[in-house]
Amino acid sequence: MASHNVTSTQKVWHSLQAFGDIAFAYSFSNILIEIQDTIKAPPPSESKVMQKATRLSVATTTIFYMLCGCMGYAAFGDKAPDNLLTGFGFFEPFWLIDVANVAIVVHLVGAYQVFCQPIFAFVERRAAAAWPDSAFVSRELRVGPLALSVFRLTWRSAFVCVTTVVAMLLPFFGNVVGFLGAVSFWPLTVYFPVEMYIKQRRVPRGSTKWVCLQTLSVACLVVSIAAAAGSIADVIEALKVYHPFSS
């Protein structure tokens, strides 16, 4: 039953948005190949190393998220905020909040770099193909042992600035994360890997394994659609009291 602060409808939307948040936490398949490409050749093979790393990372992520989700809801119920560090309106003990925020910064800076590398590589590759004779695009300046590209420095800095401004314009972090997770989870984490597995292993169409894989894909699609709907509903609700750069 919903409490006096949260209606039954809001609880449904929040629950669906939570699926999107969970999906976002596991949407790492789009950079899996990028990471695997940096691993040296056997022994053991890159795939075996990544299998072990994936199992460990998924298990660790699941434990931490389950602890935060279950313990947070058990302690605060419907009043549990999206951000457990700042959502309660108080910031004591200060040292604990500061340590947690530093850990988040370290985590997000590393994750930002990893997730953005495919975007950086795509844009820079297309720019090099479009303007092969441009000194701005192709020239690199030697600074000691480092090779500094003016184009990379300029466009990557601009990209970071733009994304930072966009993030500041969207203060409802949980809602946006839920929506992004819902949109990206099914195609990148479920559909394409499943189809690639079927193609690579030549799974016969109509076989038990094929049916199970397709059922999994369809079920995740339904969850993604529901999570996207819940996140959109929460974003619409948040926009009613939204003030740019201040809320």
* Number of domains observed in the structure of the chain: 2
Range of the structural domain that residue 126 is part of? 87-171
**54 and 92 part of one domain:** no
Question: Is 0.85 surpassed by the pTM of this model?
Answer: no
Identity of the amino acid at 81: P
Written as six digits, the tokens of 106 are: 């370290």
**50 and 151 part of one domain:** no
**109 and 70 part of one domain:** no
Identity of the amino acid at 47: S
Written as six digits, the tokens of 184 are: 């990206």
What's the rounded Cα separation, in Å, for the pair 219 and 136?
48
DSSP bridge partners of 149? 140
**231 and 203 part of one domain:** yes
What's the rounded Cα separation, in Å, for the pair 179 and 228?
5
Q: pLDDT of the chain along its 247 residues, tens only?
A: 344 466 777 777 777 877 777 777 777 776 776 677 676 666 667 777 778 888 888 888 888 888 887 887 787 777 777 667 666 655 667 787 788 888 888 877 877 877 788 888 889 899 988 888 888 888 888 777 777 888 888 999 999 899 888 877 776 777 777 788 888 888 888 898 899 889 989 999 989 999 999 999 999 899 888 888 888 887 787 777 777 766 5
What's the rounded Cα separation, in Å, for the pair 188 and 221?
11
> How far is C-alpha 208 from the geometric centre of its chain's CA atoms?
32
Contact assessment for residue 17 and residue 175, using Cβ atoms and an 8 Å cutoff: yes
**16 and 124 part of one domain:** no
H or E element in which residue 141 lies: strand 140-143
Coil, helix or strand at residue 146: strand
**99 and 141 part of one domain:** yes
> How far is C-alpha 8 from the geometric centre of its chain's CA atoms?
28
Q: What is the DSSP letter of 78?
A: G
Map tokens 């990028």 to a residue: 34
**76 and 191 part of one domain:** yes
**114 and 43 part of one domain:** no
